[in-house]
């Protein structure tokens, strides 16, 4: 018998191709660090937030430029100066098929304050909320403690959880430990959870029940790769498709390479140094007979004046940053105009201030830094340490992997540490409230205030601004608050990162000012 070898016609071939299942589209992302938790209410941290906003939806959403729009809430209205009614989108289900109702939203907001041991608590976004109630199955009323203009931004940071899936025996329902195992991790977002190995890959797959635009990806792998050079090499080798934070020295090389492309977002994330200001004896300081010199404003000013911010930007960041004179960019609502420009380094004045404060011979200090969390973080920390040492504050850098660094930071083992904060509200009040308002876990203020700076005048200005609906009046109050904090050297701002992403040919990516790497923002190039 002759073997069957009849050729397929072109038409038959096209028919077979049409009938064949489409090839799976996978996306592998090289991330600069992994999440500390999958609990969407445990830790206000970018790696956590970008995972949460891939699995869950919030009532509102901020676009790549920070503009607020509808998400699970298709509309809202002010029923009174302190009462907001949110109308839920119809036909939305969670990934397990359970319909979304107002009860899920109430459960979600009720859970926030019950999550224990949160390093940076989500009460930062609920501190002005007095009550959340379901007025009918598709309407949620949020009552604020006072007129509050930033509510729509705040609720964009609270991913809505399924009451049915996330309920449990603990006060908060499913615990953080259970959610980290994937138990109850059910959202209404574009992707659903598959697996996570601490220190390894986080795997998501497309949620086919998603109510919104269908993502291009069947499967997403988020792979932590703390070394930026290793991420870049993996992208060039084709092992990953998208990477966070290109090495600053490689940006121009990547722009010239036709196999890859580079996208960047406007600067919004501040890199700073927090200083311990509330303890009489600080653990990382020596040569002071048990006293804490950081409690003296003159010492804090000296440490700020010792830093050559422009030098760091040009030599360490290769121009991929902007020197900072405040925690807010000049374009951010409420930033003090007097602090638009970064201060010039003045080592001579810094030495004089140390002597005036009673420390002519300086002292020793340890500067904590993550390794691989921020762009060039260790190099920045080492450069600052050298600049401080030149004025007599002999500085040693203690660098550690991000999970260890955050654990130490939250345990307050550092007298000074390199930190970062991203503001996606385009208003400096959120940053000041998180970073410099007096720490008060119950009131949700000072959530990221690792130096425990406390100033009742600053607290009063921020409280007044948060309840002021008139934009001009609120801007004036925030500018006063920012100027007060910067003039008191409550913190040492360094620079604003200019974030960049590298991606393989054939992909497009929407760069976000908040620096979130959302897999739904990556698409096959048209």
DSSP state of 99: B
What is the pLDDT at residue 253? 86
DSSP bridge partners of 364: 286, 394
Predicted confidence band of residue 24 (pLDDT cuts 50, 70, 90): low
Closest CA to 459 of 433, 425, 441, 487: 433
SS3 of 217, please? coil
Q: Is the pLDDT of residue 1 over 80?
A: no
Q: Is the pLDDT of residue 15 over 50?
A: no
Q: Is the pLDDT of residue 75 over 90?
A: yes
Q: Which of 179-188, 302-311, 379-388, 441-450 has the lowest mean pLDDT?
A: 441-450
Buried/exposed 170-209: b ≥16 CB within 10 Å, e otherwise: eebbbbbebbbeeebbbbbbbbbbeebeeeeebbbbbbee
CA 247, CA 242: separation in Å to the nearest integer?
A: 14
- The average confidence (pLDDT) of the chain is 92
Contact residues for 149 (Cβ-Cβ < 8 A; gap 6+): 468, 469, 474
Closest CA to 202 of 38, 321, 385: 38
Tokens linked to 204: 């998501």
Q: Is the pLDDT of residue 166 over 80?
A: yes
CA 131, CA 147: separation in Å to the nearest integer?
A: 14
What is the pLDDT at residue 263? 93
What is the pLDDT at residue 3? 33
DSSP bridge partners of 501: 244, 263
**Cβ atoms within 10 Å, residue 260:** 19
Q: What is the mean pLDDT of residues 90-109?
A: 98
Q: Which of 209-218, 260-269, 298-307, 381-390 has the lowest mean pLDDT?
A: 260-269
Q: Which of 180-184, 239-243, 423-427 has the lowest mean pLDDT?
A: 423-427
Closest CA to 450 of 401, 416, 405: 416
Give the percent of the chain with pLDDT over 90: 80
Contact 473, 226 (CB under 8 A): no
**Cβ atoms within 10 Å, residue 440:** 15
Position of tokens 């991913």?
159
CA 199, CA 180: separation in Å to the nearest integer?
A: 13
What is the pLDDT at residue 267? 85
Q: Is the dihedral of CA 329, 334, 337, 343 positive or negative?
A: negative
Predicted confidence band of residue 373 (pLDDT cuts 50, 70, 90): confident
Q: What is the mean pLDDT of residues 179-195?
A: 97
Q: Which of 6-20, 41-55, 313-327, 446-460 has the lowest mean pLDDT?
A: 6-20
Q: Is the pLDDT of residue 143 over 60?
A: yes
Give the percent of the chain with pLDDT over 70: 95
Predicted confidence band of residue 4 (pLDDT cuts 50, 70, 90): very low
List the 83-88 sheet strands across, edge first.
73-80, 83-88, 139-144, 129-136
CA 86, CA 83: separation in Å to the nearest integer?
A: 10
Helix (H) or strand (E) holding 443: none
Secondary structure of 297-334 as H, E, C letters: HHHHHHHHHCCCHHHHHHHHCCCCEEECCCCCCCCCEC
Q: What is the mean pLDDT of residues 94-114?
A: 98
Tokens linked to 340: 């638009």
Helix (H) or strand (E) holding 465: helix 456-466
Q: Is the pLDDT of residue 459 over 50?
A: yes
SS3 of 69, please? strand
Tokens linked to 251: 């940006």
The model carries a pTM of 0.76
SS3 of 131, please? strand
Predicted confidence band of residue 5 (pLDDT cuts 50, 70, 90): very low
Q: What is the mean pLDDT of residues 152-172?
A: 97
CA 45, CA 51: separation in Å to the nearest integer?
A: 10
CA 144, CA 155: separation in Å to the nearest integer?
A: 12
Q: What is the mean pLDDT of residues 374-400?
A: 96
**Cβ atoms within 10 Å, residue 103:** 14
């Amino acid at each position: 018998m002759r073997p069957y070898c009849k050729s397929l016609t072109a038409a038959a071939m096209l028919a077979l191709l049409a009938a064949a299942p489409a090839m799976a589209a996978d996306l592998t992302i090289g991330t600069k660090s992994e999440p500390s938790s999958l609990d969407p209410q445990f830790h206000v941290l970018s790696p956590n937030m970008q995972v949460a906003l891939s699995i869950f939806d919030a009532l509102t959403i901020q676009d790549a430029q920070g503009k607020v729009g509808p998400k699970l809430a298709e509309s809202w209205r002010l029923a009174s100066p302190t009462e907001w009614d949110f109308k839920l989108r119809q036909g939305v289900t969670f990934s397990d098929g359970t319909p979304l109702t107002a009860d899920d939203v109430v459960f979600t907001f009720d859970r926030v304050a019950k999550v224990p041991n949160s390093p940076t608590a989500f009460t930062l976004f609920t501190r002005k909320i007095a009550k959340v109630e379901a007025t009918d199955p598709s309407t949620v009323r949020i009552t604020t403690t006072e007129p509050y203009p930033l509510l729509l931004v705040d609720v964009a940071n609270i991913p809505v959880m399924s009451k049915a899936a996330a309920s449990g025996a603990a006060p908060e329902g499913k615990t953080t430990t259970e959610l980290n195992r994937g138990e109850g991790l059910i959202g209404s977002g574009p992707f659903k959870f598959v697996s996570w190995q601490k220190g390894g890959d986080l795997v998501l797959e497309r949620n086919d029940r998603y109510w919104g635009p269908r993502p291009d990806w069947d499967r997403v792998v988020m792979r932590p790769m703390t070394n930026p050079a290793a991420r870049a090499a993996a992208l060039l080798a084709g092992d990953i498709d998208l990477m966070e934070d290109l090495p600053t020295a490689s940006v121009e090389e990547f722009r010239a390479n036709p196999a890859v492309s580079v996208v960047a977002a406007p600067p919004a994330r501040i890199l700073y140094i927090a200083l311990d200001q509330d303890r009489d004896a600080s653990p990382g300081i020596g040569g002071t007979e048990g006293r804490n010199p950081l409690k003296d404003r003159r010492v804090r000013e000296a440490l700020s004046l010792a830093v050559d911010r422009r030098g760091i930007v040009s030599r360490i960041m290769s121009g991929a940053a902007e020197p900072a004179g405040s925690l807010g960019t000049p374009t951010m609502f409420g930033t003090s105009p007097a602090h638009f420009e970064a201060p010039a380094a003045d080592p001579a004045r810094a030495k004089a201030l140390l002597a005036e404060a009673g420390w002519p011979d300086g002292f020793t200090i340890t500067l904590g830094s993550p390794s691989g969390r921020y762009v060039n973080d260790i190099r920045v920390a080492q450069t600052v340490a050298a600049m401080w040492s030149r004025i007599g504050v002999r500085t040693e850098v203690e660098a550690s992997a991000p999970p260890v660094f955050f654990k130490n930071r939250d345990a307050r083992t550092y007298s000074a540490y390199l930190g970062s904060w991203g503001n996606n509200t385009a208003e400096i009040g959120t940053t000041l409230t998180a970073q410099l308002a007096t720490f008060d876990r119950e009131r949700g203020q000072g959530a990221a205030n690792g130096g425990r700076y406390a100033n009742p005048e600053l607290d009063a200005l921020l409280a007044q601004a948060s309840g002021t609906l008139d934009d001009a009046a609120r801007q004036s109050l925030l500018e006063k608050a920012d100027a007060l904090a910067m003039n008191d050297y409550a913190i040492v701002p360094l620079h604003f990162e200019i974030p960049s992403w590298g991606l393989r040919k054939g992909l497009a990516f929407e760069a976000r000012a908040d620096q979130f790497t959302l897999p739904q923002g990556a698409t096959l190039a048209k």
